[in-house]
Amino acid sequence: MLAALWCAPLWATEIPLAVQIYPTVQRPDGPWSTLNFWVDGDDLVVDALLLAQGGALQSVRTAPDGLGESDTALTVYIDVSGQGKYALLFAVNPEGSVVDGNYQEAANHDGHPFGNTGADYRWRVQTQAQAQSWSAQMRIPLRELGLVPGLLPKVYVEYKAVSDTVRVLASGDSLAQGGCKLCAAQALPELSGLRVARQAWRLEPGVYAQWQAGGGAAPGATSTDHKASLNVAWQASDALEVRATINPNFVERAPDLPVLGYAEQFTPEREETRQFFAAATDLLQSPGLKLVNTRAIGMPSAAAAAQLQTTQWRALALVAQEEPGGLLLLPGRFGNSFVTLGQTQTTLVKGVQALAQGEVAWTAVDRQYTGIGATQLLAAHANVRWEGGNSVFGQWAQSQTNACASAPDLVSCDPRGGQAAYLRLNHASAESGWSVEHFSLDDDFRADVGWVSQVGVRKWRLDAFRQWEHPAAGLESLRVAPFFSARKDQSGQPLSTFAGTDVVLVGANGLEYYLTLMPVASGRLQASALSVPQRQIWLGLSAYPGGVVSAWQLNLGLGELPDFYHALPGQGFNASGNANLSLGKAIRLQVNAQVYSTHADSAVAYTGPSYQAAAAQVSANWQYQTFARWRYVLTHSSEQVLDWVSLQSPTSHQWAQSLLWEEAPRQGWGRTVSLTQSHNGQDAENVLSVVAQLKYAW
């Protein structure tokens, strides 16, 4: 493997990007792209000359942190500690759109291809595109890196070229390390001796005003609100940063995708995109049960945090005060519920101790519900990795609460406690691998500032895979991945059993084919119900055709899909699709749609679906400058539930639309105006909201 070289600009040595083959990515042909690194004053400079690697590149100017799987991009991971666990991430595409944030090797990244992108770093980039190549120069202030004396930083570089297909080049062979990118990072010894004073203060004063009409207990009523806000960060030392926010307004937060009505039983996790909380998301994540998720702090009026990083320790202490009106997710054995919160205060402390091949960590959370009660959580985990793709992760948690649900609110109750545990063993190489996981959550376990979607369950799961490269003419790779999982409740009674095989084919023309066969599948829908069959087959297809439609994906599930609403077995389909459309170099449309339809098995003579839900979202983004844009989002969802007595299935509709204009540079004046309208057809509720925000960052 080629070692990264570090020297002054006059003697800068090109670093060829070693060819990297991923399971679903074609082999690149032609010469390698090149990078140069050097230090220029207080900046780390990265110069790149990147070849197109095929046909015309797919590239469109997008919102900051808005690049996706269908975008050509150069990504630089800077592992400041050199321990292969966390990294600062900087990415750019040929049109100059940027992504930055935090990357954690061992944890799930909320589905975002670039990890967590909430943290915004103040760096500069210039790009220039040619017919068959493009160039980029990143200038990253060394003070942003947070260099810690005594640590040896490392760098990992990844270049994804998307044209009619996807080709990936990288500076190291991560597959030889079981897919661990940072394990394949190259050392940068010249950085370890630098002492760069970090910026002592960062201030973002601002003001916002909000006007709202309709909704609530008095439809047609109006309300106004205006507040001054302040974000401040103080670098107390090289290792310690203190941050605070007062009256934050998150009008610029990207809207969530709609959730199908039935899917509230397994509500998806929401990505944290709010700057104050996302700055520490990489520290709060863990590869097991997600016991901390700051999106659970929904309506903060003020928050403060202190974050520490030394050669061996990373730690965070956070306190947040919440306004009334937020929602709390309360998981159950067969479904979730939400309650409305009053005044709330959350205190969270987490510490991580680095090991030679892993880490140990502990977490403590106290959430006080004014006038009602409190929930406490104490947790610990250990993660050890060796010889690339071998790892073991263990986690334990204990909770206690005296705040219980009495819809739609919380009420006081007798103290109750619960435990949770998680264990995972993993082995992986470039050709094959397997993993075994087990977790157990008591019925009364609570993680009120976390994301646990089900309690009262014990689960075993086994996954394996075998990968073949170029298995046949016209195919690039074949991946076969059998799986088995079994769930039981706390009494030992079966909840569900699933067994099947995933098959993925990558074609030479950029197409990817997915097939999931699940011949063994059954589960209980209610505590008193019998297990119902859920055998299914799933088909999927995705492509990067280029031109107007830069990417699309279709998925279809057929078979024994249960009627969750009536808790009955059924037959039906679950279809979803999404597409990215590029209209010129500055306008992108994203379309997402899903339909779940099932006909319950019953003695009633009825031919239509007994339950059907649909959701769709269209998002249009015009990025006329790197940090300036217009965005319009239209969201619609509907639900049909059959009444077995009248055999009628009325449809309820909900829709919302949002128009946003923002100019939000990393430094200087930022302006945002948002207009949102929502309608709930079930109770005829209409809400119109206008929010304006002005802030300055230096």
What is the model's pLDDT at position 634? 92
Q: Is the pLDDT at 2 greater than 50, yes or no?
A: no
Q: Which of 208-212, 274-278, 372-376 has the highest mean pLDDT?
A: 372-376
Higher-confidence residue: 469 or 658? 658
Residue 635 lies in a domain: no
Same domain, 38 and 134: yes
Give the pair of three-digit tokens for residue 426. 């993993």
| pLDDT tens-place string over residues 108-141 | 554 567 777 777 888 999 999 887 889 999 999 9
Read off the pLDDT band of 194 (50, 70, 90): confident
Higher-confidence residue: 40 or 555? 555
Same domain, 281 and 390: yes
Same domain, 174 and 291: no
- From 430, 455, 480, give the residue that closes a domain: 455
Read off the pLDDT band of 8 (50, 70, 90): very low
CA 623/CA 693 separation, integer angstroms: 19
Q: Specify the length of the chain in residues.
A: 698
Region of 52 (left: φ > 0; alpha: ψ -120 to 50; beta: rest) is alpha
- From 440, 455, 470, give the residue that closes a domain: 455
Give the pair of three-digit tokens for residue 320. 């947040």
What is the model's pLDDT at position 264? 55
Same domain, 171 and 301: no
- From 192, 225, 243, give the residue that closes a domain: 192
CA 542/CA 418 separation, integer angstroms: 43
Same domain, 314 and 170: no
Residues 6+ apart with CB under 8 A from 375: 365, 366, 367, 369, 399, 400, 401, 403, 446, 448
Q: Is the pLDDT at 4 greater than 50, yes or no?
A: no
Closest by Cα among 238, 243, 167, 226 to 199: 238
What is the model's pLDDT at position 7? 38
**What is the pLDDT averaged over residues 97-102?**
88
Residue 461 lies in a domain: no
Read off the pLDDT band of 19 (50, 70, 90): low
Same domain, 186 and 277: no
Residue 610 lies in a domain: no
CA 224/CA 230 separation, integer angstroms: 20
Q: Is the pLDDT at 548 greater than 80, yes or no?
A: yes
**What is the pLDDT averaged over residues 678-686?**
77
Same domain, 313 and 167: no
- Indicate the number of domains in the chain: 2
Bridge partner residues of 25 (DSSP): none
Same domain, 21 and 130: yes
Residue 84 lies in a domain: yes
Q: Is the pLDDT at 14 greater than 80, yes or no?
A: no
| pLDDT tens-place string over residues 32-45 | 777 888 888 888 88
Residue 620 lies in a domain: no
Residue 92 lies in a domain: yes
What is the model's pLDDT at position 594? 94
Read off the pLDDT band of 80 (50, 70, 90): confident
What is the model's pLDDT at position 25? 59
Average pLDDT, rounded, for the chain: 85
Residue 142 lies in a domain: yes
Q: What SS3 state is found at 684?
A: coil
What is the model's pLDDT at position 632? 93
pTM: 0.84
Residue 243 lies in a domain: no
| pLDDT tens-place string over residues 618-629 | 999 999 988 899
Residue 82 belongs to domain with CATH number = 2.60.40.1190
Same domain, 53 and 154: yes
Read off the pLDDT band of 255 (50, 70, 90): low
Residues 6+ apart with CB under 8 A from 558: 536, 537, 538, 539, 573
Read off the pLDDT band of 1 (50, 70, 90): very low
What is the model's pLDDT at position 12? 44
Q: Give the rounded percent of residues in the chain with a pLDDT score beyond 70.
A: 90
Q: Which of 161-165, 216-220, 406-410, 502-506 has the highest mean pLDDT?
A: 502-506
**What is the pLDDT averaged over residues 203-215?**
88
Domain that holds residue 341: 269-455
CA 200/CA 204 separation, integer angstroms: 14
CA 150 to chain CA centroid, Å, is: 32
Residues 6+ apart with CB under 8 A from 297: 277, 303, 320, 322, 326, 346, 449
What is the model's pLDDT at position 5? 32
